[in-house]
Chains A and B, each alone.
Chain A
Amino acid sequence: MAQRTVAVIAATALAALTLGPVAAVLVRAEGLAALGPGDWQALRFTVCQALLSALFACILAVPVARALARRRFAGRGFLIALLGAPFILPVIVAVMGLLAVFGQNGLLNGALSALGLPRLDIYGLHGVVLAHVFFNLPLATRILLQGWLAIPAERLRLAASLGLTPRARFMVLEAPLILRLLPGAFAVIFVICLTSFAVALTLGGGPRATTVELAIYQAVRFDFDLGRAAALALMQLALGLGAGLVAWRLAQGAGFGAGLDRALPLTVAHGRACDTAWLVAAAGFLLLPLGLVVWRGLPGLAQLGPQTWAAAGHSVLLALASTALCLSWTLALAGARGALWSLMAIAISPLVLGTGLFLMLRPFVNPFSMALPVTALVNALMALPFALRIVAPEVEAIRADYGRLRATLRLTPMAWLRLVLLPRLRRPLGFAGGLVAALAMGDLGVIALFADPERATLPLQVYRLMGAYRMEAAAGAALLLLVLSFGLFWAFDRGGRAGAAA
C-alpha cells in the first residue's frame, strides 16, 4: 500500500543519509586509519562519562518525579514545564549558565568562600557529568513522572484503604514502575551522552576528558585525517547502536508523553518535607543557571548589531525548516520499526555526516549554496529519534482506534492524513515540533564546514562575538538564543494544544 511505500522510502532515505556520508568519507580516505592511544583513551572516557551521567540523572529523577507526582501546589504545571527547559537549552548557553553557578567566580563558590569553606572546582569528569545531569535530569524526570501519573486511581485508593505503610506502598506501587521505566531512561540518556561534544570541551579540564566526538572533530578539522575520522565515527556508531538497541528493548514503555495535565492521583500525607526539599533542590539546580544566563545577558542585548539579528532570523528559519523536515519524516516512519531505524541518526557523528554530505554534494552543486539545507537536514536527522518517540505511539493508537472505520469508509491515504491523522496528532506533533525546533535552534553542528557567508546562525554568531572579544554582546546573543529556543518550543507546543479539540 502507499503508506508502506512511503515508510520504506523514508527508512531508505534515513539509512542512505546516515551510512552514505560515512561511506563517502571512507572512500575519500581510501580506507580506515589505525587508532592511536589517545583515541582509545577517548573511547574509555566517553563510555565512562556517559554511564555516570545516565546513572546520576536516573537516580536523582526518582525522588523529583515522585515529589512532582504526589504534591499539588500553585504553579505546579508551570514548574513542570520549566523543569523541562534544560533539555532543549543550546549547549553553548547552558555551559555559560552552569559556570555562572558552579564556576570559579560562580554563585556557589561565592557562598562557600563567604562561609570560609574551600572552593569547588567544576572542571573535570565531575564537571562533564554535572552538565549532562543538568541536561538529562528533566528527561528522566519526565519519563518517570508520566509513569507515576499513569498509576490507576483505583490502585492508589486501594493502597490508601489498605493503610499501607510508606515502605509497603513503595514496594507495591512504585518499585515495579521504577524498575519498568528506569532502564529505558538510562539507556536513552546513555546514548545521548555518548555523542557529547561541546560539554566535554569546556568543562572537561584537559585531554583526559576527550570524547570520541571531540577526537573526530580534531581528526577532520585539524589533522585532515579522514581515515581516522571514519574509524572513530564507525566506533561511535557501533557503540551507539549497541546501546540504542538495548534502549529500544528496555524503553518500550517509556515515552516522553505529550501531555502531563492528566488528573492527579491522590496526594499522600507523609513525606511532605522531604518532597519539598527535593523540589526546591531540583528547581534550584535546573533553574538557577537559566536565571543567570538571563541576568548576565540583559546588558548585552543592547549591543546586538544587525548581523546578530540577521543570524537570529536565519536560525529561526533553519529551525522551522528542520522541524518541517523532521515531522514529515516522523509521520512517514511512525511504524513499529521506525524507532529502531532512527537510532542510527542519534549515534552518528554530526561532523562526519557533514563532511560526508559535503563530499557527496560536491560533484553536483556548490556545497556552500547548500549550507542551510544541509544543516536543516542534519538537524532534522538528529532530532528524529525524539520526535518518533513522541509521535509514534500516538499514531499507533489512532490506527488502532480508527483503522477499521477508515477501511469501511474507503478513505484515500491523503484524506486519512489530512482529515484524521494530522488533526488528531496536533498535540504530539506540536510537542515534538517544539522539541525539534528548539534543538535545531541551538545546534552548531555542521555549519562550520559549510558556513554560508551571509547566513551565519545564532550559535555561530555567539562564537564569533566571543572571537572578536565582544564577551558582553556574546552574553546578550546567548540570551537571545535562549529566548528564541524557548519561544519556538512554546509556540509549537501551545499551537498543538490550542487546536486539539475533543
Chain B
Amino acid sequence: MLRLEGVTIDMGGATLAADWAVQPGRRVAVLGPSGAGKSTLLDAIAGFRPLERGRILWDGQDLTGLPPERRPVSILFQDGNLFPHLTLARNLGLALRPDGRRPDAAGIARIAAALARVGLEGMQDRRPGTLSGGQQSRAALARVLLQERPILLLDEPFAALGPALKAEMLELVRDVAAQLGALVLMVTHDAGDARRFAEAVVLVADGIAAPPVETERLFADPPPALRAYLGEGGH
C-alpha cells in the first residue's frame, strides 16, 4: 500500500497537502487544473522534491528520506524518457543493467520480448530520433516493463499525442501495469482520460490532493472543485 501521511509539499509559496493511502495494483488518475500541483505530487512520490512535512510509505517502509534511485518507482516524464543518442536496445538495456554494461543473452531476449510486447518488434537498433512520437512512447513503456517496479508514475507522457494514439497508449499502459501488477498514478488534465483509464481519481485543487475516490462515483456526483474544473475546462 502507498501511504501519504500528513504530507505537505512546498510549491514555491503555495503548498500542497495530501493524507491518504492507495492499494497496490490500482490505476489512479491525478486530475486537476494546470498549476494545481499534479506533477508536484508525483515528483514528491518519486523523490525529486523534498517534503515539508509528513511521510511517504510503501508497504510500511518509509520512503521519505530515500533518494529517487532507491525508491520502488518507475516514472514516465512529459519528454526525455529515452537517451536520444542511444539505440533502443541500449536504452532498454539500462533498465536491466544500471551500471551500463551490456546485458547477457537472457537480458537481450527480455529486451526483444519487451519491444515486441509494445509493438516495436525488431527495432532494437533504432535511435529514438528515428521513431514517431507514438513509437517513442511505446519504447518508454517497454523500458518501464523491464524496470519491474511496483509503482508506475505517468507525468503526462502522452500529452503530445493525438486522441486516437493517446487512447491506444492508455490501453497499452493498462496491459503493462496489469502484467507488472503495478500501482499506476497518472497525471492528466483530461477528465475523459481519467474516466477511460482510471479505477480511482485523486483530485488536486486548492492546495489539496484529495483522497482517491472511485471514478464512477466521483463523476456521478462531482464535488464542487471538480465541477468548477469541468466547467472551466469545457469537458
Contact = CB atoms under 8 A, between A and B. Distances in A.
- Please tell me whether chains A and B touch each other in their complex, using a CB distance cut-off of 8 A: yes
B69 interface: yes
B47 interface: yes
A415 B129 CA distance: 21
Nearest to A501: B85
Interface in B82-128: 82-86, 90, 94-95, 97-101, 127-128
Contacts of A420: 83
B14 to A, nearest CB: 22
Contacts of A407: 46-48, 67-69
A414 B100 contact: yes
B7 interface: no
A502 B127 CA distance: 9
Instruction: Determine which residue in B70, B81, B98 has the highest number of CB atoms from chain A within 10 A of its CB, and name it.
Output: B98
Interface stretch (B72-80, B187-195, B224-232): B72-80
Contacts of A412: 98-100
Nearest to A402: B80
Instruction: Determine which residue in B70, B74, B90, B99 has the highest number of CB atoms from chain A within 10 A of its CB, and name it.
Output: B99
Contacts of A418: 100
Interface in A390-422: 401-402, 404-412, 414-416, 418-420
A408 B80 CA distance: 12
Nearest to A423: B85
A419 B86 contact: yes
A404 B75 contact: yes
A402 B91 CA distance: 13
A409 B85 CA distance: 16
Contact of B94 (A401, A414, A415, A501): A415
Interface string A153-193: 00000000000000000000000000000000000000000
A408 B127 contact: no
Interface string A411-442: 11011101110011000000000000000000
Contacts of A408: 46, 68-69, 73-75, 147
B98 A419 contact: no
Nearest to B68: A407
B69 A401 contact: no
Contacts of B68: 404, 407-408
A410 B98 contact: yes
A423 B94 CA distance: 15
Contact of A405 (B47, B70, B80): B80
A401 B101 CA distance: 22
Contacts of A414: 99-100
B99 A415 contact: yes
Contacts of B90: 419
Given A404-B68, A404-B77, A419-B90, A411 B100 contact: yes
Nearest to B82: A405
Nearest to A420: B83
Contacts of A411: 69, 94, 98-100
A402 B98 contact: no
B74 to A, nearest CB: 6
B188 to A, nearest CB: 19
A53 B59 CA distance: 67
Contact of B100 (A402, A404, A415, A502): A415
Contacts, number: 71
A420 B98 CA distance: 12
A36 to B, nearest CB: 58
Contacts of A415: 94, 97-101
Contact of B80 (A401, A410, A502): A401
A502 B84 contact: yes
A405 B77 contact: yes
B99 A402 contact: no
Given A419-B83, A502-B127, A409 B98 contact: yes
Nearest to B128: A502
B211 to A, nearest CB: 26
A409 B80 contact: no
Contacts of B67: 407
Interface string A315-329: 000000000000000
A406 B100 CA distance: 11
Instruction: Determine which residue in B70, B74, B75, B100 has the highest number of CB atoms from chain A within 10 A of its CB, and name it.
Output: B100
B95 A409 contact: yes
A401 B82 CA distance: 11
Contacts of B129: 502
Contacts of A424: 83, 85
Nearest to B84: A502
Nearest to B70: A410
Contact of A419 (B46, B70, B73, B100): B100
Contacts of B82: 405
A418 B98 CA distance: 12
Interface in B127-163: 127-129, 147
A145 B70 CA distance: 45
Contacts of B47: 407
Contacts of B85: 423-424, 501-502
A396 B35 CA distance: 26
Contacts of B75: 404, 408
Nearest to A412: B99
A25 B46 CA distance: 53
A52 B168 CA distance: 66
Contacts of A406: 69
B105 to A, nearest CB: 20
B70 to A, nearest CB: 8
Given A410-B69, A502-B127, A502-B129, A405 B83 contact: yes
Given A402-B83, A405-B80, A407-B69, A501 B127 contact: yes
Nearest to A426: B85
A502 B83 CA distance: 10
Contacts of B80: 401-402, 404-405
Contacts of B101: 415
26 contacts: A404-B46, A404-B48, A404-B75, A405-B83, A406-B69, A407-B69, A408-B73, A409-B69, A409-B95, A409-B98, A410-B69, A410-B98, A411-B69, A411-B94, A414-B99, A415-B99, A418-B100, A419-B83, A419-B90, A419-B94, A423-B85, A424-B83, A424-B85, A502-B84, A502-B128, A502-B129
Given A411-B100, A412-B98, 13 more contacts: A401-B80, A404-B46, A407-B47, A408-B46, A408-B147, A409-B69, A411-B98, A411-B99, A414-B100, A420-B83, A501-B85, A502-B128, A502-B129
Interface of B: 46-48, 67-70, 73-75, 77, 80-86, 90, 94-95, 97-101, 127-129, 147
